[in-house]
Amino acid sequence: MARTGKSFAVSMITVCQLMALALWFSATAVLPQLRAEFDLGAVQSSLFTSSVVLGFVLGTVTSAVFGLADRIEPRRFWAVSAIIAATANILILTVPVDGVLVIVLRLVTGVCMAGIYPIGMKMVATWARGDTGFLVGLLVGALTMGSALPHLFSVAVPLDWRLVIVAASVSAYVAGIAVLFVQLGGTPGKSPRFDPRMVGQIWANKPLRHACYGYFGHMWELYAMWGWIGLFLYGSFSDRLIENPGVWSALSTFAIVGVGAFGSLAGGYFADRIGRTTVTIAAMIVSGACALVVGTFGSAPFAILLAVCIIWGISVVADSAQFSSCVIELADPHQVGTALTLQNAIGFLIALVSIHLVPVVADHFGWWGAFAMLSIGPVLGTIAMVRLRQMPEAIRLAGGKR
């Protein structure tokens, strides 16, 4: 009975997480339509994604500083965050799409994501019984699939981009109500508090610093890839004079981003068995190679283009959860909260830069140059993880499997 209860509860949390996180890329998924209808420039287009990322950073730091995850019952915190985020998202339909207010609303959505994704982790952790790694991979998979979901919405409701925004918001509203009925596996443990006085001590920890470097390289690539791969495919399919390029690009993007959920689960499974640095190095080598060449396949046969993009989609997120695991295993126990907050805040701020650079570089050097630029992150991240692997402290990773 207990096992059944756990399976049902974890499944419910995962599904709710997936449904609510559709808000993250709901506006990004319809960028081709928005650019055509409102003649959006590169900066405005980038802000549809980057403002959510910035909001997430602000929300995460605020929650960590004030200990909101410990002061508010997690299901209520999650539900309120999802409902506010869904409301901010649907209000996009009431303001000029090419104005400032729409970016403010996307920022608010991002702030609320800090009450959804990390709190979902906290709720799942109450059910952890020696399988924390798998459960974390499951939630990262939900983040990945949730990020892909709006692209599927855009195919299911192709008549108007506004219906995609509505579908994502309704999805989050339903999740916000459903999560209130989820059973927890125990009393949530206290979240490690953020203490800015520890930042210097954390940065002086060489192994921990290199784990963060690896994550920074990963983040340089991940969100820029997720944010722009759809527009790249739309242009590729339009150039081929394929009928309904918007539908085909949306379906392809859903597959490319969504398949990363399986990459995340596989990454967590193998990292516990063959080592965290082994998995992160392998994933970054593959994703970096894909980033370097994918822009040259825009006019290649469809099957080849899709195959390269699918491999990229799997590898780009397969290592994601392992960087946080490295921090947890390498940091002093009383510094874990600050170390994770610092790692995430800097990583997402780095993602802001690459998200905005992609369209600028694409305008001057084409999609090959834009995506090849993203390969810089995996290259530097791989170097950092190779160096970490060579340090004596790496024995603390994955039970000695490095």
Give the side-chain half-sphere CA count within 13 A for 63: 31
pLDDT higher than 90, residue 286 = yes
Give the side-chain half-sphere CA count within 13 A for 20: 34
Gap between the Cα atoms of 327 and 338, Å rounded: 10
pLDDT tens-place string over residues 227-253: 899 989 988 988 877 777 778 888 899
Widest pairwise Cα distance in the chain: 60
Residue 26 DSSP code: T
| Torsion, CA 362, CA 356, CA 221, CA 25, rounded to 10 | -110
Of residues 231, 245, 263, the one with CA closest to residue 49 = 231
pLDDT tens-place string over residues 346-399: 999 999 999 999 999 998 999 999 999 999 999 999 999 999 999 888 888 866
pLDDT at position 29 is 82
pLDDT higher than 60, residue 1 = no
pLDDT higher than 70, residue 17 = yes
* pLDDT higher at 160 or 262: 262
Mean pLDDT (whole number) for 200-207: 87
* pLDDT higher at 2 or 318: 318
Residue 263 in tokens: 């990459």
User: 145-166: buried (b, 16+ CB within 10 Å) or exposed (e) per residue?
Assistant: bbbbbbbbbbbeeeeebebbbb
Q: Around Cβ 108, how many Cβ atoms within 10 Å?
A: 20
Q: What is the mean pLDDT of the chain?
A: 87
pLDDT at position 146 is 87
Mean pLDDT is lowest, of 125-134, 165-174, 308-317, 351-360, for 125-134
pLDDT higher than 50, residue 3 = no
